[in-house]
Amino acid sequence: METLKDAFDFSDFSRIERIILVLFSIFLLVFPWLGFGSFVKTVMIYFLLFSLFGMGWNTIGGYGGQVELGKAQYVGIGAYTVALLMVWWRIPFWVSMPIGVLIAIGYSFIIGYPLFRLKGHYFAIATICTSLVLQDIFINWKLVGAAKGIELPIRDHPDFLYMQFKSDTYYFYFIMALFYAALFYMNWFRKSRLGYQLRMIKDDEEAAESLGIDARWCKIKAYSIASAFVAVGGGFLAVYNLYIDPYSVMDLDLSIKIALMAMLGGAASMWGPIIGAAFLIPLDRFLGSWLGAQKGLIGVDFMIYAAMIMAVSAYQPRGIWGIIEQFRKRGA
Amino acid sequence: MVSSTIFAAEKEIKIGVIYPLSGALATIGRDLQRAAELTADELVNNKNPNVDTLMAKWGGIPSLGGAKIKLIFADSRGEPDRGADLAKRLILDDKVVGLMGAYQSAVTKTVSAVAERYGIPMINDSSTSPDLTRRGFKWFWRTTPHDEYFDKDLFELLKGLTEGKVKGVKTVPKDQLKNLTYACENTEWGSSVAKDLERFAKEYGFNIVKGLLYSANAPDLTSEAQAVVAAKPDSMLFASYLSDSILMIRTLKGMKASPHLFWGQDAGFEMADFPRMLGADTNGVLTRTVFIAKLAKVKKVAGQINELYKKKYGDDLTGATARSVVGVQTWAYVLNRAASTDPKALQKACNEIDIPGYELVMPWDGIKFDATGQNIKGRGLIGQYQWKEGKAELEIIYPFDLASANMIYPFPGWK
Amino acid sequence: MGEGGGRKLPAMIILDAILQGILMGLLFALVALGLTIIFGVMDIVNFAHGEFLMIGMYAAYWTSLLLHVDPLVTLPASAVVGMLLGLASYYWLVKYLIRGPMIAQLFGTFGLMLFLRYLAQFLFGTDYRIIQKGLLVGKSLSLGPFILDWTKLSTAVLSLLAFLLVYYLLHRTKLGKALRATALNKEAAAYMGIRTDRMNAFAWMIGGGTVGIAGGLLVNFWYVYPTVGLLFLMIAFASVAMGGFGSIKGAFFAGIIIGMIEMLFPVFGHLIGWDFLGPQFKFTVVYFAYFIIVVLRPQGLFGWKR
Amino acid sequence: MAFLQVIDLVKDFGGVVANNHISFDIDQGEIIGLIGPNGAGKTTLFNCIVGYHKPDSGKVIFKGKEITGLKPFMTNREGIGRTFQLTKVTAGMTILENVMVGAFCRTDHRPVARNQASDLLAFLRLEGVKEFHLNELPIASQKKVGLARALATEPKLLMLDEVASGLNPKETEEMVDLIKRIHQEMKITLFLIEHVMEVVMPISQRVIVLDSGEKIAEGLPKEIVKNERVIKAYLGEKYAKGL
């Protein structure tokens, strides 16, 4: 009960923030009916998906302050579970997705236990390595389609059980639902005991230990929460693209992108991951489609993209949200 | 992107083309785009006196009142999910009547899945994964032969050698060819090639002494090369993209390997950069492909179209680029037969179409799709790089009736 | 027939693999050297390191192509380019990054990596470029059953020299001592009147220089294209972390270890007849080995700071 | 049965012996001072008891239960709280949140934790700075926050590491009677490392003296200040006369 109250209670945010949140929600609700083209729609879908990823990463990476660069492996686990169960035994999405999440959580505990012996850069690189190892295994593992990847059978009629629709509108509302679930969860999480303890660990791990906090265990818990979030997104990717292969769902780039969303938007803040995604995804997609096909401009879109990343991380390490707050303080 | 008004829809027919125009495969993507544009402009939309195809006399699609084909290019960056998005954009926003592309099989999978969902025909010009036409899709057709054809061709060539069918080579006793090794990169393409090789080797009574998959563009292939050499094969077979193919040759050269036969399954071995970079080292290397400039000798049209391309961009057509030429040609024919841009009509046209071989740049018997959407009249080539006065010429070795030069056998090795 | 005499003997194969492994490993070590120096001095992991390598390769490639000189002669060129690159990225980017937390630093350099990579793509296109002729290109030396590329041999030797040079620089010269002081304790160094800012820049200069040289050597037997860096970045990461961040010795040995794993693993799989453990896993094993090592010894093999 | 027993404890940092066979007892409700010159191994001793270091040999027994080598968070759960010489000043969490974290290790409910924290801050006269961040406070208050955090975990034994160092006389005075109040009103046994004599001598009932890793004396403050070894090792003659 109290939990729910916390989850829906945004009262500790400033008035403006709450107003913007409401307006934004209304916008999302009516978005599909504003007559945007399908390209904009897909961009929106990816924006929501990556804010979901980002929020997940934020638990361990933001509040916990652990630089975690291996999330792609959990996207992979989520996506592959959904795809394989559907191909092998025709198991519907609504069953396979939770299974995927459970597997992801289990795996995250197995990996997390040794992983959190490490700190700082050793930890960061190690997370990358674990993800790469899993990717290589999947690339060569015949049973899961190896490098071929897996195609989900297309059903002739739209099918809610298997989350197959013709129009992106349905996918949009589905991912939007997930997005809000994540949002409310995070709103609870940041006020939860674990949330406080993680922030303490981030501030001063030694002191945290002296306050009866089992730092390693807290990190592992946060890590598996993050993994669960990401696995959900992975499952969505599988049914959305109807094709997955280790290169697209388990790649290092994906891991980094996920962390980048949260970090660039503002790690350890409620809105950070969302802002980050709202900034990076459209930038990437639109630049790509405008400049990508232009002859003689190959690579320019990436250069702009990269320049933005450098600029933000150099100017304000706390990301875009940091910049916003900075100006607010000045204003106040 | 031009917004689609009714008027535009009548006068120009939009075909969406998805290629990897940026990212790691940008070079090949650029060439494919050039070839497609060239075909649309100079073979379909405008009359072209110095090419002897019926199509070149059209100047637009006849049955649609001379409507022009407009190709709308989109850049997949070689990412499957991006490909899917672009396919949606092309279908819903740009209102294209059909799709073409997308080079990498992985991207083609997602793109064709979208096309299938929206009931828009997609003609695939250049993806060779056999699976693509085994998915029971109703809106997917493929003009190029797939890897199985090519891998079979190799063993036909080997058989030919043992039967003295090959131009300029005396009959070779089978025990000099019996032992094969292969090294394929462990992408979807490489691994399926490996599977075919195993199968056909049994069928044709050859014996694979060592076969290995290796991780694509690894920083070093020494151990792989050693494994291959250590098996002392008569023939070495490879499926590698450009980076690996070059590295592999370099490494093997370093080890003074000298098999009797050295065959590469397209991709790296067939790209223009390959001979450009390795020069004399390519002498005697065989590669499977679908187009070789030398075809001009035996097929006039091929020469003429190749000239057009060479005049404009300096390079000869390669297997890849020639395939995208055929892709556009096929689209023109399909549209002409359907005499409408309605998907159902196009679907029907695709299923019924039968393009005569003499219309195509390729040495094929023509284009006719079977129930799965695979073109059954296509055929592959095997070429051999031959080092003549300071430049590597790609000569046709197989099919035997098209042979453009004597085959260099056995593989001369490296100095 | 496939040559190379008595390769049948397992002992021979293994010995050969070890040899090749050491050669390759020395190259990996050289690539890792710059990374570990930079980290040692200012606790920052440079994601763009692979791109530095790539630029060094292009530098060597173009100079040898345009001036028609042997690729080996162009080493100074690529070294200088590497140094300039290091300095530029320090003064224009890293200087501002170090104020932020580790993650901001990582992503700052990550941005740099993307930027350089696609700048290269923009300038040179994605075509693969490789040096056709050179003193050593394509030549190889056969010692009985063993055949070693001259290019790799020379690389190994020069890499050894580079290590000795850097070691001398850090342990014998005044500058090096100042650098190590900075590495050990910034504040203390600052009190001692060392200008740590200069030292950081200096570290980036050496780092860039060494990796530039690595690029110049690499281009002798390796083709260059805009995304080539990524291949080596992960290996460099693994070797630096395995050896212990900031430890020169560590980078050296870890590099060699990785080289050996990479060569021995497939041979091993082949010898015990487990062909499913083929070469496709050789780098998987490297990453896995790294993971195991740091979990057992969280400072890496020779680590002296966390 | 002593409350805390340290038996023959040894800690050796690669040749440098920081604690050499140290034994002592603390009874419930006492205030014990631990003094000694810099580098005498005081903080190391704390760390060995609380679990930041694993002693090389010897035992630590708390409330009759051996806790040797337990991790800090475990010893804390056993009922030992500690503060640090320097509180790491961060801009991360507010003062209230800092203290709440402490409270959270006894309760799951945020309201409960919040109330406990506020009460504590009131007790320490810090309610004014609830919403500030550590880096915005003067040293004295930072130390108090450290204290509050530790108290929030409801320790039975509280180990204070130089709470008064770096404070001006007035603040020191405050700190002293704060410590007294904690001892009397909360019934917590105190074990404090101190440099500042004005703090340790008046309040502690017994004093333990370390010098270069050895325990050289133990007893009532007045005895200690008379003990030659101590005087030699540590105190100036003047102070001995002073008392």
Asked if the Cβ–Cβ distance from A149 to B188 is below 8 Å, we say yes
Query: DSSP letters of C4-24?
Result: -TTTTSHHHHHHHHHHHHHHH
pLDDT of C153 strictly over 90: no
| Residues above pLDDT 90, as percent of chain B | 36
Q: List CB contacts of C269: < 8 A, sequence separation 6 or more.
A: C275, C276, C277, C278, C279, C281
Compare CB distances from C110 to A119, A267, A309 and report the shortest one's residue.
A309
Residue C56 and residue C211 in contact, taking contact as beta carbons nearer than 8 Å: yes
Whether residue C77 has a cis bond before it, omega within 30° of 0: no
Measure A162 CA to nearest chain C CA, in Å.
34
pLDDT at B102: 87
State the pLDDT at residue C3. Answer: 39
Stretch B165-174: mean pLDDT, rounded?
87
SS3 B221: coil
The pLDDT of residue A281: 92
% of chain C beyond a pLDDT of 90: 31
Give the relative orientation of helices C10-42 and B222-230 as an angle to the nearest 10 degrees: 180
What are B263-300's pLDDT values in tens digits? 988 777 887 778 887 888 888 899 988 888 888 888 88
Q: Is D168 helix (H, G, I), strand (E, B) or coil?
A: coil
Residue C4 has pLDDT above 50, yes or no: no
* Average confidence (pLDDT) over B306-324: 89
Pick the CATH number of C10-296 from 1.10.3470, 2.30.30, 3.30.420, 3.30.70: 1.10.3470
Q: Would you call B215 and C13 a contact, using CB atoms and an 8 Å cutoff?
A: no
Chains contacting chain D through 3 or more C-beta pairs under 8 A: A
> How does residue D198 score in pLDDT terms, banded at 50, 70 and 90?
confident
3-state secondary structure of D110: helix
* pLDDT value at residue B344: 93
pLDDT of residue C57: 93
Q: What is the ipTM of this complex?
A: 0.88
Which residues in chain C are contacts of B242 at CB distance < 8 A? 128
Residue B67 reports pLDDT greater than 80:
yes
Question: Which has more confidence, C2 or A82?
Answer: A82
Instruction: List, in order, residues 6 or more apart from D113 with CB less than 8 Å away.
Output: A193, D100, D103, D104, D107
Confidence at C304, pLDDT banded by 50, 70, 90 = low
Residue A295: pLDDT band by 50, 70, 90 thresholds?
low
Q: Do chains D and A touch (3 or more CB pairs under 8 A)?
A: yes
> Are C140 and B281 in contact (CB < 8 Å)?
no
Residue C7: pLDDT band by 50, 70, 90 thresholds?
A: very low
Fold of B6-145+300-368: Rossmann fold (3.40.50)
Judged by DSSP in three states, B306 sits in helix
* Residue appearing with tokens 């071929």: A148
Q: Which residue has the tokens 């320090």?
A: C90
Q: Please name the residues between 56 and 95 in chain C that touch chain A, using a CB distance below 8 Å.
A: 93
Give the model's pLDDT for residue B279.
Answer: 82
Taking residues C247-254, what's their average pLDDT? 90
Q: Is the dihedral of CA B306, B308, B314, B319 positive or negative?
A: negative
**Is pLDDT at B3 greater than 50 in this prediction?**
no
- CB contact under 8 Å between B223 and C17, yes or no, is yes
Average pLDDT, chain B: 87
Angle of CA points A60, A62, A65, to nearest 5°:
70
- To the nearest whole angstrom, how far is the Cα of B229 from the nearest Cα of chain C? 5
User: Domains plus CATH for chain A?
Assistant: 2-331 (1.10.3470)
What DSSP designation does A309 have? Answer: H
Strand pairing report for C140-143 and D157-161: unpaired
CB contact under 8 A, B110 and A289: no
Going along chain D, which residue ranges are E strands? 4-13, 16-26, 31-35, 57-62, 65-66, 80-82, 157-161, 189-193, 206-211, 214-219
Q: Do the bridges between strand B286-289 and strand B354-356 make them parallel or antiparallel, or are there none, so unpaired?
A: unpaired
- Which amino acid would we find at residue B104? Q
Can you read off the two tokens belonging to residue C213? 């040289």
Residue type, C115: F
What's the mean pLDDT in C61-88? Answer: 90
DSSP state of C277: G
Q: List the domain boundaries for chain B.
A: 6-145+300-368, 148-289+380-402
pLDDT per residue as tens digits for the range C162-217? 899 888 988 888 888 888 888 888 888 888 888 888 889 999 999 999 999 999 98
CA separation for the pair A219, A216 (Å, rounded): 5
Provide the pLDDT for residue A328.
Answer: 86
Highest mean pLDDT among B229-238, B382-391, C44-53, D160-169: C44-53
Which chains sit next to C, with 3 or more Cβ pairs under 8 A?
A, B
Residue C224 is predicted with a pLDDT of 87
Distance CA B189, CA A186 (A): 43
At what angle are helices A272-291 and B80-88 packed, to 10 degrees?
70
Residue A273 clears pLDDT 90, i.e. is over it: yes
For helices A300-315 and A272-291, the axis angle rounded to 10 degrees is 160
| Beta bridge pairs of residue D66 | D61
Question: What are B306's two structure tokens?
Answer: 């190749």
Instruction: Tell me the nearest-neighbour CA distance from C1 into chain A, angstroms.
Output: 31
Give the pLDDT band (50/70/90) at residue C8. Answer: low
Q: What confidence tier does C51 reach under pLDDT thresholds 50, 70, 90?
A: very high
Confidence band (pLDDT; 50, 70, 90) for D151? very high
Give me the half-sphere count of Cα atoms (radius 13 Å) on the Cβ side of residue C157: 7
Instruction: Give the architecture-level CATH label for domain B148-289+380-402.
Output: 3-Layer(aba) Sandwich (3.40)
- Between residues B415 and B162, which one has the greater pLDDT? B162
Q: Which of A192-201, C216-225, D142-151 has the lowest mean pLDDT?
A: C216-225
Residue of chain B whose Cα is closest to the Cα of A301: B22
| B6-145+300-368 and B148-289+380-402 agree in CATH topology | yes
Identify which has the larger pLDDT, D243 or C299: C299
Nearest to A310 among C99, C108, C226 (CB): C108
What is the rounded average pLDDT of the residues D70-76?
Answer: 91
Is D149 a residue whose pLDDT tops 50? yes
Contact state of A241 with B106 under an 8 Å Cβ cutoff: no
Residue A42 has pLDDT above 50, yes or no: yes
Burial category of D173 from C-beta neighbours within 10 Å (exposed 0-12, middle 13-18, buried 19 and up) = middle
Q: How far is B404 from chain C (nearest CA, A)?
A: 28
Contact A202 D153 (CB under 8 A): no
pLDDT, residue B350, reads 93
Is the predicted pLDDT of residue D239 greater than 70, yes or no? Answer: no
